[in-house]
Amino acid sequence: MQESIGLRLGSLTLDVPFFQASLSGYSDYTMRSFARRFGCPFALADVMLAKSMAEPRVLRKACFRPGIDEHPVGAQIMGESPAIMAKAARDLVAVGYDVIDLNFACPVPKVLRRGRGGALLARPKTVIDIVRMVRETVACPLLVKLRIGIDHDSASQDDFWEIVTRSIEEGIDALVIHGRTVEQRYRGKADWDTLASVKARFPSATIIGSGDVFDPQAAFERMRQTGLDGFVVARGAIGNPWIFRELRCVWENRPIPPPPDLAEQRAIMLEHFHRVLNGYPEKRAIGYFRKFIVRYARLHPSRKQVTTTLMKAESRAAVEAGIHALYGAGETH
């Protein structure tokens, strides 16, 4: 399986053919740094609204961690105006992002109502105007994230193929395609056959698949079957940064290590919680961390007990005590 180059995103070369996807509300600096620690070479930050980047305060906040080395890191932007998207891309590159990713995939109703994200899949001309203007503005690797259409109707399929064809013609560095329609949201299985047909039609373009990447062996098997250049890990990485260690082993033809034991899970959970506490007041930190608890719990043999105990914890001390009780006591971080 091992090859010298994993994935080429324009001028950026990764040594493995996978990276961590943009995950709104999750893929913050902490989640990205855990991914990196376990072998992920590159990650995208949460999606940002392009027009908000015009406010210096918001742009400063988007500045991932000035002074802390997190490269390469990608910014994903969403918006419907080519000029505003191009300006946001330029500003985000200026504050240090290495890669720009354009979101034409988000299925959230509020986003769709405003004509952004996945809604733009019905407006190929606007998509291409955005792609062209951003491409003319930034020289860094440029990715386009999309789904396989608004729905399965033939008009939507025509729009999808037009966007794919013309984005490639405009010189983007890779397409990242989630194998579901906007209307499907996260229902059903991702359709990797359509992704394979994109690669078959554009063999020299870099096509990266997204959808249901949970099992390392299966992910590479799918990549081989479809001929795609790589894949992104999304839900499979929430509460499971160890997936990157496993993926790397498969890629390098090494045996997959056993899943993390309770002590290793405990150490990461505590470190994660403490990092969240550094960024938010206690109550908010606990609320935010709960989203991760339910995911971390999946690796615990008593998943239900972990969620019921830790979701009830309402103070820092109670969360810590719960983690120690459920995952065994030991050295803390």
Ligand X SMILES: Cc1cc2nc3c(=O)[nH]c(=O)nc-3n(C[C@H](O)[C@H](O)[C@H](O)COP(=O)(O)O)c2cc1C
Among residues 40, 106, 140, 249, which one is catalytic? Answer: 106
State yes or no: residue 234 binds ligand X (CB under 6 A).
yes
Cα–Cα distance measured from residue 78 to residue 62, given in angstroms and rounded to the nearest whole number = 14
CA distances 157 to 109, 162, 219, 308, Å, are 21, 9, 25, 44
Count residues binding ligand X (CB under 6 A).
21
Give the interface segment with ligand X, choosing from 20-28, 82-90, 159-167, 242-250 (CB under 6 A).
20-28
State yes or no: residue 116 binds ligand X (CB under 6 A).
no
Q: Nearer to ligand X by C-beta: 44 or 326?
A: 44
Q: Nearer to ligand X by C-beta: 87 or 145?
A: 145
State yes or no: residue 222 binds ligand X (CB under 6 A).
no
| 80 φψ region: left (φ > 0), alpha (ψ -120 to 50), beta (else) | alpha
State yes or no: residue 127 binds ligand X (CB under 6 A).
no
The nearest distance, CB 151 to ligand X, in angstroms, is: 17
Cα–Cα distance measured from residue 252 to residue 268, given in angstroms and rounded to the nearest whole number = 25
| The only residue of 24, 81, 126, 157 in contact with ligand X, by rule CB under 6 A | 24
Pattern 189-208, ligand X, x by CB under 6 A = -x------------------
| The only residue of 16, 21, 208, 310 in contact with ligand X, by rule CB under 6 A | 21
Give the interface segment with ligand X, choosing from 15-23, 57-65, 166-174, 319-327 (CB under 6 A).
15-23
CB 300 within 8 A of CB 269: no
| 185 φψ region: left (φ > 0), alpha (ψ -120 to 50), beta (else) | left
The nearest distance, CB 234 to ligand X, in angstroms, is: 3
The nearest distance, CB 261 to ligand X, in angstroms, is: 25
Q: Would you say the C-alpha torsion 191, 238, 229, 163 has a positive or negative sign?
A: positive
Cα–Cα distance measured from residue 186 to residue 247, given in angstroms and rounded to the nearest whole number = 23
State yes or no: residue 210 binds ligand X (CB under 6 A).
yes
State yes or no: residue 290 binds ligand X (CB under 6 A).
no
State yes or no: residue 297 binds ligand X (CB under 6 A).
no
Give the interface segment with ligand X, choosing from 91-99, 157-165, 209-217, 295-303 (CB under 6 A).
209-217
140 catalytic? Reply is: no
The nearest distance, CB 45 to ligand X, in angstroms, is: 9
State yes or no: residue 145 binds ligand X (CB under 6 A).
yes
The nearest distance, CB 104 to ligand X, in angstroms, is: 9
| The only residue of 39, 86, 99, 103 in contact with ligand X, by rule CB under 6 A | 103
State yes or no: residue 122 binds ligand X (CB under 6 A).
no
Q: Hey, which residues are catalytic here?
A: 106
Give the interface with ligand X as residue ranges (CB under 6 A): 21-26, 46-47, 76, 103, 105, 145, 178, 190, 210-213, 234-236
